[in-house]
Amino acid sequence: MAQKRYGMAIDLRRCVGCEACTIACKQENHTPPGVAYAKVIKQEVGQYPHVRRTFLPILCNHCEHPPCVPVCPVGATWKRQEDGIVVVDYNICIGCRYCMTACPYGARTFDFGDDYNIPQNDFERQPSAEYGKAWPRNGGSPIGNVRKCHFCLHRVARGEEPACVLTCMPRARIFGDLNDPESEIARLVAERRHFRIKEELGTEPNVYYLL
Amino acid sequence: MKQRSLVIAYWATLILLALLGLWAIYLRTVVGLRVTNLTSLVPWGLWVAFYIYFIGLSAGAFLVSTMIYVFGLHRFEAIGRMALFTAFVALVTGLGFILLDLGHLERFWTVFINRSPTSVLEWEIHFYTLYAVILLAELWLLMRRDLIRVGQEPGLRGRLCRLLALRSTDLSDASAAADLRMVRILGTIGVPVAIAVHGGTGAIFAVVKARPYWYTGLFPLIFLVSALASGSALLTFLTAFFARRKDAEHAEMTLALGKLTVGFLAVDLIFLMSEMLVGWYGGIPDHVATYRAMMFGPFWYVFWIGQLGLGALVPLILILNRRTGRSVAWVGLAGALIVAGIFGVRLNIVIPPLTVPLQPGIDTAYPLGRVSSFALEGLGLMAFRLGLLLFTVAVAVLLAGLVRLPRAVPLRAAAALSAATVFTALVLINLRLADLAPATQANLLGPTSRVSALPLLFGGAVRSSDPSFYSPSMWEWLTSLGVLALAAIAFSLGWLWLPLERLPEPPAPQPRHFSGFSPARGSER
């Protein structure tokens, strides 16, 4: 079986900045306040009357050469051989946050243990299903761990798309295997003009922004 | 009588601070990192700054000791053991701070089983361990004969030293010479290890290409030089005020140590200037933004007043000035100022680069700003307020007595300065507690304005709507205060009980001057 290289293409001409991806991600992964894997940078360009709002959805780039991985003192984060997804093992991570300073994209967030509601509501009490396990929110991991986007690994394992891709109303997000030349994402990346963020750092991001 | 009350005041203050701190540390371990004001934008703060600060003090003090035992600068010999002991206490203190900072501190030991050879941080943990062994071995070898001698005395001190002598009984000159040979070997191994310990701590930051301010080849070297400056400054301060034997020789050595410190400080300033000129000239946005945050941000005074003013300019004047430069007390005070100033350097290494958003707009893309969502409530809060108020009054009384004690002007100045600092800090904690509200949803969802926990000391009445704004929470300060007090207690106990200064040789049958690093050198003098 050929090695997979999962990536995402985000069509900036389609994105309307509705932030449905941000919400879908938070619901899917039961993330607490201050933890978000998918975000949208919203900026204003130009001056009245020639003014425009730009949207840049950001998430973990699942880089080919992720700078966050080698710095981990306990090897709790790595790039998976089989599909190129950068994961964190919550049971190994000691919470030193070195990887957060090393990521050039600000893709990693730390779970400080805050909750939206005191006491937690029913939704918050439900465990997160990340990495195919149940992570209840009762003091232990993932509280005190660094958390990041994992392309909804637990959904991908079931053959589903990541939550942000599924929910995207204008279908701006395309998820797939970049190593498969027949996949939609590989075709789009080959055909359309695109950029990746901070390519000059040599991280080789796997999230492509189509123009 | 006065002396006695001073000693009581000293211990009472330290023990109370340590108890307060231990309580805060207990809360931090129970509640987790929720007690901090750290965010996902600024994930490292006060504790990491303290960590690199103490590792630097340790490496600096150790390297000063190697000058004596490896490179043969015998004029500093009187502070050799003090340097090693200081280095050990500082190392443990630094590691204590990084332990506090871990999200899962119960897993700290797994760095020894979960291998990750590409991580600078993991290499550092190993270097710290090796370094601690070398420090302890050297210190023990140097104190061995005196431990045996003191161990013959009755009482607690005698018993402790007897225990620490580890059944060694050999008091002969030959054994002492062998000890010194061993110390020289250990010290020689220790030099590259100490360089790895602090240069490597610098490399933890320098390998991060995401932050241009850290990502320079000069960065680990700046760590080393500022470590040497802070280490020798600390020893200058300690020997100026805490040496038991104060004679002409001691004065000469202290002044020479002060001069050495100035040399290191000068190199440190040159490195700083080089970094800043290259950074500003290059104009890379993140790099310049870091300098802007550091020099003109809400904590501008940490750089201008702390790092450059009190930490460099004033001590340089004090040591190089002809009048004050001849006074042990003034030079000692200059050392204390440099030690404090280097803490400003450490804060500015850790925090400003993190406050610069990694991409324009990433800080406002999602509410990542947060403040500690932990607060005392009800009876606990009332008890804490009352206790702190009583404590503040008690400390005020003690400090007022303390300030009037010393005769010498610089000592008075130093006492007044430290008394004022401690008192201000306490008053401000009290004030801050007056408006401590329990956790609400509002301050979890990214507050629009955040006030620094300890005005004046850190942030004044700075209000900020910037999500990247970070100032340590009260809990971060209290735990830090506790660790500092514990370190001071450990140091004081060592100073009281361990033979950190060479005991006078018993008259016969030994030769009057034992001074040898090898038998061949024993005849020098």
- Does residue B525 have a pLDDT over 50? no
Give the contacts of A122 (CB within 8 A, at least 6 positions apart).
none
H or E segment at B130?
Answer: helix B120-151
Is A102 within 8 Å of chain B by CB? yes
Indicate if the pLDDT at residue B464 is higher than 90: no
CB B373 within 8 A of CB B444: yes
Among B43, B118, B210, the residue with its CB nearest the CB of A104 is B210
Q: pLDDT tens for residues B275-289?
A: 999 999 999 999 999
- CA B247 vs CA B74, B134, B236, B250, B259: distances in Å: 17, 31, 15, 5, 19
Q: How confident is the model at residue A140 (pLDDT cuts 50, 70, 90)?
A: confident
As a whole number, mean pLDDT of residues B197-225 equals 94
Q: Is A174 helix (H, G, I), strand (E, B) or coil?
A: strand
Residue A188 contacts B where some CB pair is shorter than 8 Å = no
Does the beta carbon of A169 lie under 8 angstroms from any beta carbon of chain B? no
Q: Within 13 A of B406's CA, how many CA atoms are on the CB side?
A: 13
Categorize the per-residue pLDDT at A187 as very low, low, confident or very high, splitting at 50, 70 and 90.
Answer: very high
Q: Are A73 and A185 in contact (CB under 8 A)?
A: no
Asked if A36's CB is within 8 angstroms of B366's CB, the reply is yes
Contacts of B285 in chain A (CB under 8 A): none
Which residue of chain A has the CA closest to B353?
Answer: A101
* Per-residue pLDDT band at B318 (split at 50, 70, 90): very high
Q: pLDDT by residue (tens digit) across B17-66?
A: 898 889 989 999 999 998 888 999 999 999 999 999 999 999 999 999 99
Which residue of A lies nearest to B34 if distances are taken between CA atoms? A112
The dihedral through the CA atoms of B425, B431, B437, B443 has a sign that is negative
Among A101, A120, A137, A145, the strongest candidate for a mutation testing the B interface, having the largest count of B CBs within 10 A, is A101
Question: Where residue A167 falls among pLDDT bands split at 50, 70, 90?
Answer: very high
- Show residues of chain A in contact with B359, CB under 8 Å: 41, 58, 105-106, 197-198
Tokens of B412: 């008075």
pLDDT at B156: 86
Q: Is the pLDDT of residue A8 over 70?
A: yes
Closest partner residue to B34 (CB to CB) among A103, A114, A141 is A114
Interface A-B: count of C-beta contacts within 8 A: 164
pLDDT in tens, B370-382: 777 776 766 776 7
A17 touches chain B (CB under 8 A): no
Q: What pairing do the DSSP bridges indicate for beta strands A207-210 and A6-11?
A: parallel
Structure tokens at A124: 């918050």
Structure confidence at residue B431 (pLDDT)? 60
Q: Which residue has the tokens 């966050």?
A: A68
Averaged pLDDT, A50-67: 95
Going by C-alpha positions, the residue among B12, B11, B84, B15 that lies closest to residue B499 is B84
Closest CB to A73 among B31, B116, B446? B116
DSSP codes joined into one string, B137-183 = HHHHHHHHHHHHHHHTS-HHHHHHHHHHTTT-----HHHHHHHHHHH
Give the pLDDT of residue B270.
96
Q: How far is CA A144 from CA A73, B101, B107, B110, in A?
A: 16, 10, 11, 16
B208 contacts in A (CB within 8 Å)?
67, 71, 101-102
- In sequence order, what are the residues at sequence separation of 6 or more whose Cβ sits closer than 8 angstroms to the Cβ of residue B184? B69, B70, B517, B518
pLDDT at B442: 38
Residues in chain B, total: 525
Taking residues B301-324, report their average pLDDT.
92
Contact B64/B263 with Cβ under 8 angstroms?
Answer: no
Angle at B350 between CA A72 and CA B206, to 5 degrees: 55
Taking residues A24-46, what's their average pLDDT?
A: 93
Tell me the two tokens of residue B209.
Answer: 């290409």
As for the ipTM of the complex, it is 0.93
Query: What are B393-451's pLDDT values in tens digits?
Result: 777 777 777 666 666 677 777 777 777 777 776 666 666 555 444 333 334 444 434 44
Per-residue pLDDT, B403: 67
Confidence at residue A194, expressed as pLDDT on a 0 to 100 scale: 96
- Helix or strand holding residue A43 (H, E): strand A39-47
Q: How far apart are CA A109 and CA A98, in angstroms?
A: 11
The answer, yes or no, to whether residue B516 has pLDDT greater than 60, is: no
Is B171 a residue whose pLDDT tops 90? no
pLDDT in tens, B188-200: 999 999 999 999 9
User: Are B253 and B80 a contacting pair, CB within 8 Å?
Assistant: no
Contact with chain B for residue A42, Cβ under 8 A = yes
Q: What is the pLDDT of residue B155?
A: 85
